[in-house]
Structure 1
Amino acid sequence: MSEFDGDASAARSDDPEDPDSPDSRNAMDEAAYRWSMPRIPEGVIASRQRVRDAMLAWGEPEERTETAVLLVSELVTNSVRYSARSATVRCCLRRTCSRITIQVWDAGGDGVPSQRRPPACETDPDGGPRVDLSERGRGLLIVTALAADWGTSQEAGGRLVWADL
């Protein structure tokens, strides 16, 4: 998965065959930032700051920036918590003229998360509204609510989770 090779915070390839090469696309139409970090909680904080800095550099509106920051926070947190085999988490923030894509790769764990969409109304067995006060297990529901689309795949010996704005 060459997209995640290297640890540069703003990576561009000089290879004309690489789709990220400035020679193979209009630099104004697409930009990408890539980074890697150890699979530790502090990586979530660093990822939020990288996304905020990139979005600011691209001139993205504050609301869209905050949505991207929250999405990367949820995706990287899941990698930190659930990818027992991964020592490193690799990320890519890509901007095209019409969307922002966030990608998070890790070595995987127990399966690939599913795209669960909450039912219109969840109720407890007694018929009352479901109230879930737990502080865990809602990350992908947040991703579902905020992202235009998101998904997962097994790639390059690991798991890739992506979200589009």
Structure 2
Amino acid sequence: MAEFDGDATDARSDDTDDTDDTAYRWSMPRLSEGVVDSRRHVRDAMQAWGEAEERTETAVLLVSELVTNSVRYSARSATVRCCLRRTCSRIRIQVWDAGGDGIPSQRRAPQCETEPDGSVHPELSERGRGLLIVTALAAAWGTSQEAGGRLVWADI
């Protein structure tokens, strides 16, 4: 595993056997600027690995949603830690924070855009769609309480 310091030029891995397991880790203060930094870290690493543009954009969007949730909902965390791990079969994005009010859960998209009273369905409001996006884009995702905090991960 390599520590990711924002320079992905050393991220190349020509080893494509089943033991290929390259990871980049970074930490940032729990601030909205961390979302932008995380997108850049993921884009740089994915490009250095030679990943396809579509897969790179999916990973960038997933990390953006996961880090945004940490910034927005982890009241106890001063720091958000991230890890991007590549094997020959998948990319796993992990975001850890000190936790907050509960563990995110997977939800289904609502069947209707409006409630019976004509109001917009809560899951289609301006906020709260991040995990629906993660569910739609990730091959798998999950959460756990880990090391005194909350870990959220997504695979592509």
Q: TM-score, normalised by structure 2?
A: 0.84
Residue 106 of structure 1 is matched in structure 2 by 97
1:101-158 C-alpha deviation (Å, 9 max, x unpaired): 0000000000001111225x23521589959663211110110010011000000000
Q: What's the RMSD between the two structures over aligned residues?
A: 2.5
Identity of aligned residues (%): 79
CA contact (8 A) 2:28 2:80 kept: yes
Choose from 19, 28, 32 the match for 1:37: 28
Using the alignment, how far apart are the partners of 2:44 and 2:19 within structure 1?
17
One-letter amino acid of the structure 1 residue matched with residue 65 of structure 2: E
Using the alignment, how far apart are the partners of 2:25 and 2:105 within structure 1?
25
Q: Please give the residue correspondences for 1:3-82 in structure 2 after superposition, counting only pairs within 5 Å.
A: 8-9=3-4, 29-82=20-73
Distance 1:140 1:51, change over 3 A: same
Aligned residues: 144
Choose from 76, 88, 91 the match for 2:79: 88
Residue 153 of structure 2 is matched in structure 1 by 162
Question: What are structure 1's unaligned runs of at least 5 residues?
Answer: 11-25
Distance 1:130 1:137, change over 3 A: closer
Q: TM-score, normalised by structure 1?
A: 0.79
What secondary structure sits across from 1:57 in the alignment?
helix
Q: Which runs of 4+ in 1 moved over 2 A?
A: 126-134
What secondary structure sits across from 1:117 in the alignment?
coil
Using the alignment, how far apart are the partners of 2:146 and 2:64 within structure 1?
21
CA contact (8 A) 2:123 2:129 kept: no
CA contact (8 A) 2:29 2:79 kept: yes
Greater displacement, 95-104 / 28-37:
28-37
What secondary structure sits across from 1:161 in the alignment?
strand
Using the alignment, how far apart are the partners of 2:129 and 2:135 within structure 1?
10
1:72-113 C-alpha deviation (Å, 9 max, x unpaired): 000000000000100000000000000000000000000001
Residue 149 of structure 1 is matched in structure 2 by 140
Question: What are structure 2's unaligned runs of at least 5 residues?
Answer: 6-16
Using the alignment, how far apart are the partners of 2:87 and 2:26 within structure 1?
18
